[in-house]
């Protein structure tokens, strides 16, 4: 992730729902303090939190969920990428097959 951030001067964003998922994943496997540290590190790297949840946003996310086998959190990330005309970067290879095939936005798979 750090390499990707170092390679670009383009602003990087993450939806609050995706932060929630990261926090949950780390807290469940370790503890809340470690989860807080990881979230703080992401934000220190310059990734900016977005909390878009207006009607146009949630409708786009819900439509993505209805049309593709993608986790709801990823639908929020995809909807944010579409809204910003940005690239969606994920390590979630399995869930992205239909979204990638449908060309919902530019998707880069890492790891």
The more confidently predicted of residues 72 and 7 is 72
Question: Domain range for residue 83?
Answer: 2-109
Instruction: Please state, in angstroms and rounded to a whole number, the distance separating the CA atoms of residues 85 and 87.
Output: 7
pLDDT recorded at residue 2: 62
Looking at residue 59, which CATH number applies to its domain? Answer: 3.40.50.1010
Structure token digits, residue 43: 């934000």
Number of domains in the chain: 1
15: enclosing H helix or E strand: strand 13-15
The more confidently predicted of residues 24 and 9 is 24
Reported as a single tens digit per residue, the pLDDT across 33-88 is 999 999 999 999 999 999 999 999 999 999 999 999 899 999 999 999 999 999 99
Instruction: Please state, in angstroms and rounded to a whole number, the distance separating the CA atoms of residues 45 and 42.
Output: 5
Angle at 74 between CA 29 and CA 85, to 5 degrees: 135
């Amino acid at each position: 992730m750090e390499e990707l951030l170092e390679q670009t001067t383009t602003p990087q964003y993450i939806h609050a729902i995706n932060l929630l998922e990261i926090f949950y994943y780390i807290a469940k496997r370790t503890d809340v303090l470690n989860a807080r540290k990881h979230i703080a590190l992401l934000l220190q790297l310059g990734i900016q939190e977005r909390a878009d949840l207006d009607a146009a946003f949630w409708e786009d996310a819900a439509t993505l969920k209805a049309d593709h086998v993608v986790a709801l959190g990823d639908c929020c990330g995809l909807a944010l990428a579409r809204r910003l005309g940005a690239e969606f970067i994920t390590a979630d290879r399995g869930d992205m097959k239909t979204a990638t095939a449908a060309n919902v936005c530019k998707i880069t798979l890492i790891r």
